[in-house]
Structure 1
Amino acid sequence: MFNILNAEPLRTDEAFKIDASVSSNGVIFDFNVNENVYIYSDKFSILLGQEDITELLNLPKKKEYKSNQVYVSKFQILVPFGLISSSANLDKFNININYTGCSLDGFCYSPQNLVYSFTKFLNSYQISKINNSKNTSSNYQPSSVKKGSLNQDEIAINIENKGFILTLITFFGYGLLLSLTPCVFPMIPILSSIIVAKCGQDANIKKSFFISFIYVFAMSLTYAIAGILASFLGANLQSFLQIPTVLIGFALVFVILAFSMFGFYQIQLPAFLQNKINKKSENHSGLLGVFIMGFLSALIVGPCVAAPLAGALLYISKTGDLLLGGLSLFIMSFGMGVPLLIVGLGAGKFMPKPGFWMNQISKIFGFIMLFMAVWIASRVIGDNLSLLFYGILGIIFAVFMLPNSFKESDFWRIKLSFSLIVFIYSLILIIGFTNGSTSLTKPLLSEISHPKSSLNFTKISTIKELDDFIKNAKKPVIVDFWASWCVNCKELDKILKDPNLQDILSHFELVKIDVTKNSDDDLELMSKFNVYGPPSLVFFKDQKELKDEQIISVKNVDELKNKLENILNKI
C-alpha cells in the first residue's frame, strides 16, 4: 500500500453512524454502517451499566467476510424497558456500545466505546452521548507489529489480504525442510517400534498409517500450543524488541542457535529428562500412549530444531493472531512429520538414509540463523554496517557451498554457479559498505558520492509543542508521522534524503513525530490531524493546515517533488 497517494479513509463518525431514540417499548439504536465498512460481531457488545446484555438482545444477521462474522449496512437494535428495569433505574441509566470495525480498503478503526445517558424528563427522555474512544485508524503495513489493542485484527486482515492460506502453505514448506534435518530421523525408529508393538502380526497400511497420524497429530499439537503462546505474548515481545539491548540479545541467541546447527554443540533436554519422559510414555497403552509419545517426542526434538523453530516463533509473535499462530506451527509440524507418515504407509524402505547431505541441510539452517541475527541487529548497528556482516557471511556461505570435488554433472555446475554468484554479490556488499551504501538491492549506489543530506528534523511529541512550533515557523512546515516498526517509513526516509529533493526541502521546516509507542499523546496527535497511521506527511502554511495536501504514502521522488512544488505555489 506504499503506492497509495492521498487515499483518505472515512472518519470514524462517517463510517459508523449511530442514532439513539426512545419508543414506548424501549431504547432503539439505529446503526448506519457505510457500505465500504463492517463491524466485527465478536468485537460488538452492549452493556447496561456494567452488565453485558448483548446475548439478551435481538441482534442483526451476521455475514461472513474473509472468515470473519461481521455486521454490515443498516440495522436496528431494541433494548426493551423490561430488560432495563431488571438491572437499572428507568429514571436514569447508561447504555454502553463497544465495537471495532474495518474498511474494505484495509483500514481498521480503533475500538469504539460510546456511552449513552438517558435521563427521564416529564414524559420523555433526554439523551446525551459521550465518546470514550481513542479515535484513530491504522493503515495496514506488511511488516507492522504490535502498536495497540487493535493490532491483532489489523494483522489478521492484512494476512488474509495477502493470502492466509498461502501463509499456512509456507509454514508447511518450512516443516518439509525441517523434516530433512537429522533431528527428525531419530523419531523413525521410535515410531516404527510403536507400530510393531501396537500392530504385531496384524500390521497393515491402514492401521500403521493411523498410528503414525495420531503420533504426528500429537506432535503438531505441541507446536500449535507453542505458536498460540507466542502469539498471545506477541505484544510484550514486540515492545521488548524496540529496546536496543534486547535486540542485540536476540541476535546473540540466533548466533548461539546457529552454531548448534553447525554441530559445535547440542541444545537439548538433559539425558536423564529424556530417558524419564520416554519411560513414562511406555507405561501407557493404546492410542493414548501413541498420542502421549508424540506429544513428548516434540519436547525432545523441539530443542534440537530450536534454530528454525525460533525463527518461526519470532514471525508469529509479530502477527499477534492466535488462530494463525496455532495453525502455522501445527501445519509446520505436520510438514516435519511427513517422513513419519511415510513410515506409516509402509514406505520406510524408500526413506533416504541419514548422511552427509542431511548434515549440510542443518548447516544451511545455521547460516539462515546468522543472517537473521544480522537482520535483527541492523536496527541497532545501522544498515551500512549490516552490509559488511552480510557480505562476510555471504563469502563464508559461498565457500561452504562450493563442490568438494570436480564432477562433470548438471548438479555440480549448478552448485558451482550458485556459489560464485553468492561470492560475487557478497564482495559487492562489502564494497558497498566501504562506500557508505545502506541498500542491499543497490549496494554500489554510494551515499558518500552524493551531497550529504542535511535534513534537520525537529522532534515533537505533544500537540502543544507542535502548535508552538507552527506559530513560530518562518516557512511552510512538513510534519512526518514515523514509527520504528514501519517499513514504509524507512522507504520514505530514503526518498526524503534523495539529492534531487534537497533544494525544494530547504524551503520547508521539518518536524518528525515518533508514534512507535502509540501513547496517548501519539493518539491525540494522530486524531487531531486525521492521520491513519505512519507514514503520513501533514503540511502547514501560514499557520494553517493544508488538509487537502496530506499524504498517506509516497511512490517516488518525482511524485513528492511535484507535491511540494504545488504547496509552495499555493497562495
Structure 2
Amino acid sequence: MKKIARRLFSIGVLILLSSVILHAQNPISWDFTLSDAGNGEINILAKATVEQGWYMYDTNIPEGGPNPTMIEFDEIKGAVPVGEFKSIDKKAKVKFDEIFMMEIGSFTNSVTFAQKLKVTDKSSFSVIGNVRAQACNDQTCTPPLPVDFSFTGSNLPATLVITATSSDDVSGNQNEVVTGNETADINDAGSISGNESARSNVTLESVDRDLLWTPVIEELQELSDGEDLANASLISIFLKGLIWGFAALLTPCVWPMIPITVSFFLNRNKKSRRKAIQDASIYGLSIIIIYVTLGLLITAIFGASALNNLATSPIFNLIFFALLITFAFSFMGAFELVLPASWTNKMDSKVDSSKGFLSLFFMAFTLALVSFSCTGPIIGWLLVDAATHGNLMAPTVGMFGFALALSIPFTLFAIFPSWLKTLPKSGSWLNTVKVVLGFIVLAVSLKFLSVADLSSGWGLLDRDIFLAIWIVLFVVLGVYLLGKIKLKGDSDINNVSLTRLILAMLSFAFAVYMVPGLWGAPLKPLSAIAPPLSTLDFNLTGESKGLIFDDYEAGMAYAAREGKPVLLEFGGHGCVNCHKMDATVLAEDRVKNLIEEEFVFIVLMVDERTRLPEVIEVDDAGKKTRLRTVGDKWSYLQRYKFGIQSQPYYVVLDHQGKPLSPAHAYDESVDKYVEFLQTGLRNFEK
C-alpha cells in the first residue's frame, strides 16, 4: 500500500513541473512518413523514439487505464481510414500495473505505429492530423502531448496504384475525426439558449467578420486608463497561500519543529542575543526563498495561455482530482507521504559542514524536507489552484504567501523566546487538525472533478450530486469531531472539549445550510466551487437567464438587427470565479433586468470541447496555431482581439466590435457591475 501511495504521490506532486517542462521538451520524438501498402492503400507510419528512462503506452488500453497512444485527423481528403492505429514492428511489453490494477502494454526505445488509408483520389489527397502519446518514467508522467503531421498528394509513394473500389468502400464522411480506434462526428458549434424564435431569425450575411475580429487592445487601454485587470486574482491567491501556510503550522510535522528550531538558534549564539535574532531572521528569509523559488520556476516556464489551458483541461483536472484524493487520504492516516531519507540526511550534512548564511539556508531546506509529509499535500494543492488561475505570477504569489506564514513563527519566537512557554504542547490535537484538513482537501478535490465533467460534457457530477457528497462529508466530519469516529493516530476521547464541540456544531450547521441547494437555492458562498445551477436535476426556482448567445458572430448579428449593445463575457466551465459572478452578481435583479432589457448577452466558453466543423490555422503571436475546438476559437479571440487571457472577462461592444466602456473582471460588487453596464449603455446611446 505504501509503495502504491508513494508512486501516486510522486506522479501527482511533480505533474505541474514536469508537464510544463515538457511543453518545451517532449521525451517522445516522432518521424512521419507514407508507405505503399498495396491494393490502393497507404500507411501513415509514425515512428516514435522514446528517451532513455521513459516509456510510452500502447494504443489499446482498457477502460479506466492511462491515456493510450492515439491518432487524430483534422482533415482527410481523397482517402478514408481503414482499420486501427497500431504498432507494426514490435509487440507491447505487457505487465500488471498496481495503480490501475490492470494489464497495460508499453514501449521503450523506439516503435513504429501505422494507420492505413485507402486512397480514392490522388490529385485531391491531403491529410492533416496529430498523434498524442503519454510518456512516463519512474517519477512522473507527461500529458498526452499532440504532435502534428500533414501530407499532400506530392508525398504519396510513386508506386501507389488506385484499384477499383465499390461505393461502399469509399462511403462515409471524410471530415470525420479518428481518435484512437473510434470515429467521432464533428459537431457544429454555435447556438442560442432561452429563445427558440430568435435562433431562426438570426442571419450572418450582414456581419463583417474581419471588423468584428479587429484588435481593440489600445482602445481598451485608453478607456481603462491603464487599469490592470489581471492583478485582481493575485490578492486572492496570496491570501489563500497565507491561510494555508498558517494551517500548515498546526500539523504534527511542523508544530514540534518550532521550539526545536528556536532552541537550536539560541544555543548557537548563547553570548549574543543580537546574533541569534539575526540568524533567525535569515532562517525565516531562507524559508521564503525556498518556496518562492518553486513558484518562480513554474512561473518562468508557464505562459498565460498554457496556464489557462491547464485550468480547463479535463485530463489535468482529473489528475489534480486524483492527486488531492491522495493528499486527503494521507492526512486521514491511510498512509504517510515521505521523501527519501537520503535527502534529509544530505541536508543535515550540509548544515554541519557549512557556515554562515549557507548553514542557515540548508537548515531551512532540512525543515522543508522533514515537514514534507504534512506540507507537501498543502503545497501541491496550492500550486494546482494557483496554476489554474491563468495569471502568470499566481504560483509565485501563492508560494510567497505560504512561505511568509510558515516563516513568521520561527522568526518571532527566536526574537521572543519566552513566548515558547505559552505554546500548547504537542499531542493528539495535532493529528485532529491534520484529519480535519484531510476532510477539507477531500471536499475541494470534487471541484476539479467537476471542472473535467463540465468541460467534457459528461454530466456525471451535477450540482445536486456534488452537494449531496459535501453534505455527507461535513456530517461525517462533525461526527468525527465529537469523537464517535476514530482514525489512525487518534487518541481515545473521554470528554469532548469546548473547541471540538463548537467545530462539530459548525460542521453540522454547514451541512444543513447546503440542503436547500439540492432544490435550487443559490448558495452564494459556494458558487465558486459547486457546479452551476444549470446542472441541477431538480430545480424548484425555475429561474431562467433569458436569451444568451454562445456564438460571437451570431450574437453580434442579432444585436445589429435589434439595435442593442452587446455584453460579451469570456468564461469557462471550469472557471471558479465565473460561476461565482453568475451566482453573486449576474443573478441580482438590478443586473439581471438591465442585461435582459438593454443588452444582447454573448457568453463564450474558452474550455468548450465541441469540435469545430473545420480546423482553423491562425497566426498566434508569430506562431502557427491550429484551432480544433470551439473553446480554442474563443480563447484565441480573447487573446487576439482583447489582449488578455484570464476569465471571467466582460466587455460592452458596439455593432462593429469596439468597446464602449472599460473591461470588467472578477469583482463581487453589484454597484460596480451596474456602473460598468450603464457606462457602456450611455456611450452606445451617444
Instruction: Compute the TM-score of the two structures, normalised by the length of structure 1.
Output: 0.55
Q: CA deviation at 1:220?
A: 2.7
Show the counterpart of 1:294.
364
Partners of 2:541 and 2:567 in 1: CA distance = 25
Show the counterpart of 2:480.
400
Show the counterpart of 2:404.
331
Query: Does residue 448 of the first structure (1) align with residue 567 of the second (2)?
Result: no
CA distance change for structure 1 residues 244 and 384 in 2, over 3 Å: closer, same or farther? Answer: farther
Partners of 1:524 and 1:207 in 2: CA distance = 55
**Paired residue type of 1:333:** L
Show the counterpart of 1:487.
577
Q: What's the Cα RMSD here?
A: 5.2
Q: CA deviation at 1:316?
A: 4.4
Show the counterpart of 1:425.
510
Q: CA deviation at 1:384?
A: 3.6
Task: Say whether the 8 Å CA contact 1:212–1:341 is kept in structure 2.
Answer: yes
Query: Does residue 439 of the first structure (1) align with residue 507 of the second (2)?
Result: no
Partners of 2:475 and 2:332 in 1: CA distance = 17
Show the counterpart of 1:535.
650
After TM superposition, the structure 1 = structure 2 runs for residues 3-82 of structure 1, keeping only pairs within 5 Å, are none
Task: Say whether the 8 Å CA contact 2:251–2:431 is kept in structure 1.
Answer: yes
**Paired residue type of 1:369:** V
Tell me the SS of whatever aligns to 1:337.
Answer: helix
After TM superposition, the structure 1 = structure 2 runs for residues 209-248 of structure 1, keeping only pairs within 5 Å, are 209-232=277-300, 233=302, 235=304, 236-248=306-318
Tell me the SS of whatever aligns to 1:482.
Answer: strand
**Paired residue type of 1:487:** N
Provide, for residues 66-124 of structure 1, a one-character-per-residue CA deviation record: whole Å limited to 9, x for no partner.
Answer: xxxxxxxxxxxxxxxxxxxxxxxxxxxxxxxxxxxxxxxxxxxxxxxxxxxxxxxxxxx
Q: CA deviation at 1:264?
A: 1.9
Task: Say whether the 8 Å CA contact 2:467–2:514 is kept in structure 1.
Answer: yes
Show the counterpart of 1:264.
334
Query: Does residue 371 of the first structure (1) align with residue 416 of the second (2)?
Result: no
Partners of 1:140 and 1:171 in 2: CA distance = 33
Q: CA deviation at 1:354?
A: 1.4
CA distance change for structure 1 residues 467 and 339 in 2, over 3 Å: closer, same or farther? Answer: closer
Tell me the SS of whatever aligns to 1:535.
Answer: strand
Unaligned runs of 5+ in 1: 1-130, 142-149
Partners of 1:360 and 1:306 in 2: CA distance = 18
Show the counterpart of 1:45.
none
Q: CA deviation at 1:266?
A: 1.4
Q: CA deviation at 1:213?
A: 3.3
Q: CA deviation at 1:226?
A: 1.9
CA distance change for structure 1 residues 173 and 451 in 2, over 3 Å: closer, same or farther? Answer: closer
Show the counterpart of 2:116.
none
Q: CA deviation at 1:254?
A: 1.6
CA distance change for structure 1 residues 295 and 453 in 2, over 3 Å: closer, same or farther? Answer: same
Partners of 1:325 and 1:536 in 2: CA distance = 28
Partners of 1:218 and 1:559 in 2: CA distance = 46
Tell me the SS of whatever aligns to 2:323.
Answer: helix
Provide, for residues 512-554 of structure 1, a one-character-per-residue CA deviation record: whole Å limited to 9, x for no partner.
Answer: 3346766443356659xxxx983345577xxx99997999699
Instruction: Compute the TM-score of the two structures, normalised by the length of structure 2.
Output: 0.47
CA distance change for structure 1 residues 138 and 427 in 2, over 3 Å: closer, same or farther? Answer: farther
Partners of 1:266 and 1:189 in 2: CA distance = 24
**Paired residue type of 2:284:** V
Q: CA deviation at 1:364?
A: 2.2
Partners of 2:502 and 2:266 in 1: CA distance = 47
Show the counterpart of 2:20.
none
CA distance change for structure 1 residues 415 and 190 in 2, over 3 Å: closer, same or farther? Answer: closer
Q: CA deviation at 1:475?
A: 9.2
Show the counterpart of 1:522.
638
Tell me the SS of whatever aligns to 2:649.
Answer: coil
Query: Does residue 156 of the first structure (1) align with residue 219 of the second (2)?
Result: no
Show the counterpart of 2:470.
390
Unaligned runs of 5+ in 2: 1-213, 455-460, 485-492, 528-532, 608-631
Partners of 1:140 and 1:335 in 2: CA distance = 42
Count the aligned residue pairs: 402
**Paired residue type of 2:334:** F
Query: Does residue 459 of the first structure (1) align with residue 550 of the second (2)?
Result: yes
Tell me the SS of whatever aligns to 1:481.
Answer: strand
Partners of 2:222 and 2:253 in 1: CA distance = 42
Provide, for residues 31-59 of structure 1, a one-character-per-residue CA deviation record: whole Å limited to 9, x for no partner.
Answer: xxxxxxxxxxxxxxxxxxxxxxxxxxxxx
Tell me the SS of whatever aligns to 2:539.
Answer: coil
Partners of 2:446 and 2:310 in 1: CA distance = 18
After TM superposition, the structure 1 = structure 2 runs for residues 138-177 of structure 1, keeping only pairs within 5 Å, are 154-156=229-231, 174-177=244-247
Percent of pairs with identical residues: 18
Q: CA deviation at 1:187?
A: 3.5
Partners of 1:325 and 1:231 in 2: CA distance = 11
Q: CA deviation at 1:247?
A: 1.7
Partners of 1:178 and 1:384 in 2: CA distance = 32
Tell me the SS of whatever aligns to 2:603.
Answer: strand
